[in-house]
Amino acid sequence: MTEPTVLATFATPSLVAPDHQPAPSSNPLRLGLLASGSGSNVEVIAQAIASGQLNAQIQVVIYNNPTAKVAERAERLGLAKLLLNHREFASRAALDQAIVAALKAHQADWVIMAGWMRIVTQDLIDAFPRRILNIHPSLLPSFPGANAVEQALKSGVKITGCTVHYVELAVDSGPIIIQAAVPILPNDTSEALHQRIQVQEHRIFPLAIALAAQSDAAIYGE
Residue type present at position 103: L
Q: Residue 128: CB partners within 8 Å, gap ≥ 6? A: 100, 103, 109, 110, 111
Number of Cα atoms under 13 Å in the Cβ half of residue 152: 31
d(CA 153, CA 55): 37
pLDDT value of position 12: 33
- Out of 20, 86, 136, 202, the active site residue is 136
Residue type present at position 88: E
pLDDT value of position 9: 46
Determine how many CB atoms are found less than 10 A away from the CB of residue 210. 23
Instruction: Give bridge partners of residue 33 from the DSSP assignment.
Output: 61, 112
**Is residue 147 left, alpha or beta, with left meaning phi > 0 and alpha meaning psi from -120 to 50?**
left
pLDDT value of position 25: 53
Task: Report helix angle 40-51 to 70-77, nearest 10.
Answer: 20
pLDDT value of position 92: 96
Instruction: Tell me the pLDDT of the chain (222 aa) as tens digits.
Output: 445 445 554 433 223 334 444 445 578 999 999 999 999 999 999 999 999 999 999 999 999 999 999 999 999 999 999 999 999 999 999 999 999 999 999 999 999 999 999 999 999 999 999 999 999 999 999 999 999 999 999 999 999 999 999 999 999 999 999 999 999 999 999 999 999 999 999 999 999 999 999 987 766 555
Domains, the chain, in order of start with CATH, read 7-14+27-220 (3.40.50.170)
23 in helix, strand or coil?
A: coil
pLDDT value of position 4: 46
Q: pTM of the predicted model, to two decimals?
A: 0.87
d(CA 131, CA 108): 10
Do residues 22 and 214 make contact, with C-beta atoms less than 8 angstroms apart?
yes
Q: Residue 176: CB partners within 8 Å, gap ≥ 6? A: 8, 10, 140, 163, 164, 165
pLDDT value of position 123: 97
pLDDT value of position 27: 87
Q: For residue 85, give the DSSP letter.
A: -
Active site (annotated) includes residue 202: no
